[in-house]
Structure 1
């Protein structure tokens, strides 16, 4: 996961370690509708980002996960805090955010207005880094819901501009994933139809 976060951090044009880079949101288990088997969030990525100069808000729907993340934070004096929140039911505090990291959250956003609402939480040109369950790989009984590359692109592009979409994996259980780095749009995506080449 650290490699993915490093790539997202580099895309922010972040300077040396410890330089301020704006507000970041780390999404754990994002909603009461999430897979209840996902119990791995402990705020680790939030702390990693805070150690590198970001002001971080880590969010999870489970109070126990937030309690454990706060215990891990301890008295380190980092610009990092944690909140219990169902992001499908309430807007997160302290926006807009320059960077949102989401590990397996994307599958919750089934409606275009939901995706647009979360894109609006980004600052202008803000980045959204998401690890999304992939349709690639063998059948499996556990792990995140699966999305094809086409489904990811169709879902992301109305609200966000895709910078990079490539194959990755959830390293804790080996399920294949899509690494999707996207940016808040400054203008709507243009139609792919009706373009006539000029002579």
Structure 2
């Protein structure tokens, strides 16, 4: 449950959105009929910014939602969109008492994951905070190499191996390409078969059967 500021008049509420680009530039928008200064940012009326999904769908959901807006030089310009200045920008949504903008409630925060143009307007795809939990971070430890044949991590010169393919296995890397020093897998890592092994009387039980 959100705590409401003392004196907040529910009859005089409007929406405001504050967008902060990665270069620090802040832009504000509101659905009120005049500009408001909210949380230190001037929120422009009539900027065309509007949510394309409900607040609860954006706030803490790992999925994505959308926001819509109009391209104009005083707000979000076509050139800035093309330059990628809004990629990764943070968006803060608020409910504000337009008669006293210091009385506000923060609804949700999101990150602009992608921006596309639709005629004279734009569509921003917003990802909620929990979307970070869905991103793959780091590497997966596997017996197979996770580099692409010929890329910088692999290092194989494809001009010397025309039409070659690689199955990502250690033996292929060393025998076919002589590139064991750049192998990006873990060939000695125990696999699932190792979990089913058990000592057998009369056999050599030194781990060599991995």
TM-score category (smaller protein)? under 0.3
Instruction: Provide the TM-score with structure 2 as the length reference.
Output: 0.22
Instruction: Provide the TM-score with structure 1 as the length reference.
Output: 0.23
More helix by share: 1
Larger Rg, first or second structure (1 or 2): 2
